[in-house]
């Protein structure tokens, strides 16, 4: 009997990086039965219940090993979260080496696929003579920017109002909308390391598709064909999480949505790690109340760091931080859910009219796949770039305006954008455009669709090793 091909996958730390890689693995083994996948997972914190739920419900041809936990005290306490992610992987390399040694002795191990902040895994892949691929949990826009970064004049970054032209995009991006920490720390080790990495791997797997980011994908391909330092790109998206492993009727928020009129509810969530300050949380609460629109709000405890929940779990009860009397005043208008909701079930529900989102790439793809218009409220990482893409390029979103004096989004502005997207012609036009993208997303993943074919070509290459 022919030996199955094994692909090892090393996600970057953080649930938002694990989920798309898991869904990619599921798609791979579902279409190609002669391949199986082993996840080798670096960790900084003990696995969350959400992570364990995902891992414990993997299909039989995908297994996992959680590598020994790294002590957070061994990392610089004030480092950017991207640096902490990279260092977590770096400290995990001895464990990764041992895991790959075991796999290579017992399987037909062909390739190592690792997350964009797991660059140090490349050294281990080379030691075992494996093909190496970096999986971008972001869009092609971020990849195109990273590839072009060495050619951008340093002087551009001295003024946040300056603009940068990125290959494949007709809209210039303001420096203030570039990913953290580039505007203030262009020489960030994680960013520079990522840029160098792209010339060393066998390919970059991008969770995007040609109807969404065709110009950027073509620009990267043209750069590579012209002999410039651009990687071979494999657009295989949109890969998003499927239904939760739990019965959706067990969730209070789904039961609540079932009782609401069609297209009447605003879903509010800042992803798996986004947090607001107490002042901003208050303004959002009052803005939702002021809008008079129904809402479902996934709430986290406030923090002065917008990414405080990204790598570590919060222990406080978020409901304790709401304005006095808010829950009582809005009990007929909305529902507040602490910390987490089954987002796929929510976005696919018929009562959802719009999504107030941080514009993380997973959430961006989920809104596109389910055809839900977006209110863009980016917080960190490449989310501001995604917000520009959604509002100015694809025109499927409205972006909130931050008050110049206070640095927060005021309640009147929040109520205004909610009404803009849920009432009138502007909201209808946005809805039509994102519905068309939803149809294109479905087509690209169907048999002989562009993303389906790209994945088939990649799988064939691995099986022929």
Domain interval for residue 436: 249-441
Q: What is the pLDDT of residue 179?
A: 83
Alpha-carbon distance 389 to 83, whole Å? Answer: 25
pLDDT at position 462, please?
A: 96
Query: 369 in helix, strand or coil?
Result: helix
SS3 for 286? helix
Label the pairing between strands 5-10 and 35-41. parallel
* Weakly modelled stretches of the chain, pLDDT under 50: 1, 186-189, 245, 247-249, 309-311
| 179 and 265, same domain (yes or no) | no
Q: Phi/psi of residue 44, each to 5°?
A: -105, -25
Show Cβ contacts of residue 13 under 8 Å, excluding neighbours closer than 6 positions: 42, 43, 44, 84, 85, 88, 89, 117, 311
Same structural domain, 62 and 116: yes
Tokens 């300056």, residue?
162
Q: Is 63 helix (H, G, I), strand (E, B) or coil?
A: strand
Residues facing 133 on adjacent strands:
113, 203
Residue 305: what pLDDT? Answer: 77
Give the SS3 label for residue 439: helix
Tell me the C-alpha distance between 391 and 211, whole Å: 16
Kindly state whether residues 81 and 221 are assigned to the same domain. yes
Query: What phi, psi does 87 have (nearest 5°)?
Result: -70, -35
Specify whether 258 is located in the same domain as 384. yes
Cβ-contact 306, 396 below 8 angstroms: no
- 110, with CB counted inside 10 A (0-12, 13-18, 19+), is middle
| 230 and 322 belong to one structural domain | no
Q: What angle do CA 228, 230, 236 make, to 5 degrees?
A: 150
Q: Domain check: are 325 and 453 in the same one? A: no
DSSP 389: I
What pLDDT shows up at residue 381? 84
Q: Are residues 311 and 350 in the same domain?
A: yes
The tokens for 408 are 């927060």
Domain count, the chain: 2
Q: Residue 336's domain is classified under what CATH number?
A: 3.40.50.2000
CB-facing half-sphere around the CA of 266: CA atoms within 13 A = 29
Give the per-residue pLDDT at 76. Answer: 79
Alpha helices in 136-277 (DSSP H): 140-148, 189-197, 210-225, 252-258
Contact status, residue 191 vs residue 198, Cβ threshold 8 Å: no
Residue positions counted in the chain = 465
Q: State whether 208 and 267 are in the same domain.
A: no
H helix intervals, 5-48:
15-31
Does residue 22 share a domain with residue 104? yes
Asked if 215 and 70 sit in the same domain, the reply is yes
Give residue 199's pLDDT: 81
Residue pair 348/366 in contact (Cβ under 8 Å)? The answer is: no
Indicate the burial class of 286 (C-beta count within 10 angstroms; 0-12, 13-18, 19 or more).
Answer: middle
Residues 146 and 178 in one domain: yes
**Are 184 and 37 in the same domain?**
yes
């Amino acid at each position: 009997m022919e030996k199955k091909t094994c692909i090892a996958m090393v996600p970057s730390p953080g649930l938002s990086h694990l989920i798309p890689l898991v869904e990619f693995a599921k798609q791979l083994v579902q279409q190609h039965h002669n391949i199986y996948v082993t996840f080798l997972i670096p960790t900084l914190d003990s696995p969350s219940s959400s992570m364990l739920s995902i891992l414990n419900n993997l299909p039989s041809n995908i297994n996992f090993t959680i590598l020994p936990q790294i002590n957070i005290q061994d990392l610089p306490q004030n480092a950017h979260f991207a640096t902490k992610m990279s260092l977590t992987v770096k400290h995990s390399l001895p464990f990764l080496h041992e895991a790959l040694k075991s796999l290579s002795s017992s399987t037909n191990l062909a390739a190592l696929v690792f997350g964009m902040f797991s660059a140090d895994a490349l050294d281990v892949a080379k030691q075992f003579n494996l093909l190496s691929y970096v999986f971008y949990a972001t869009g092609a826009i971020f990849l195109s920017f990273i590839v072009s970064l060495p050619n951008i004049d340093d002087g551009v970054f001295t003024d946040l109002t300056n603009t940068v032209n990125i290959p494949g995009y007709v809209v210039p991006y303001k420096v203030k909308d570039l990913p953290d920490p580039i505007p203030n720390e262009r020489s960030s080790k994680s960013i520079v390391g990522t840029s160098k990495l792209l010339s060393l791997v066998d390919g970059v797997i991008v969770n995007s598709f040609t109807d969404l980011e065709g110009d950027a994908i073509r620009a990267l391909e043209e750069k590579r064909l012209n002999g410039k330092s651009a990687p071979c790109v494999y657009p295989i998206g949109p890969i998003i999480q499927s239904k939760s492993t739990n019965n959706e009727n067990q969730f209070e928020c789904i039961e609540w949505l079932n009782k609401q009129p069609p297209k009447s509810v605003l879903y509010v969530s800042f992803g798996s790690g986004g947090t607001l300050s107490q002042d901003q949380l208050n303004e959002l609460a009052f803005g939702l109340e002021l809008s008079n629109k129904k809402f479902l709000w996934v709430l986290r405890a406030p923090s002065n760091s917008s990414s405080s929940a990204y790598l570590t779990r919060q222990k406080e009860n978020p409901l304790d931080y709401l304005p006095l009397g808010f829950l009582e005043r809005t009990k007929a208008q909305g529902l507040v859910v602490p910390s987490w909701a089954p987002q796929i079930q929510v976005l696919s529900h018929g009562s959802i009219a719009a999504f107030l989102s941080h514009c993380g790439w997973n959430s961006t793809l989920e809104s596109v796949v389910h055809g839900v218009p977006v209110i863009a409220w980016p917080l960190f990482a490449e989310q501001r770039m995604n917000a520009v893409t959604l509002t100015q390029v694809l025109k499927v979103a409205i972006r909130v305006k931050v008050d110049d004096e206070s640095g927060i989004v005021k309640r009147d502005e929040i109520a205004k954008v909610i009404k803009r997207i849920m009432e009138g012609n502007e909201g209808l036009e946005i809805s039509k455009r994102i519905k068309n993208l939803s149809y294109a997303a479905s087509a690209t993943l169907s048999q002989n669709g562009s993303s389906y074919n790209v994945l088939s070509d990649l799988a064939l290459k691995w099986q022929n090793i």
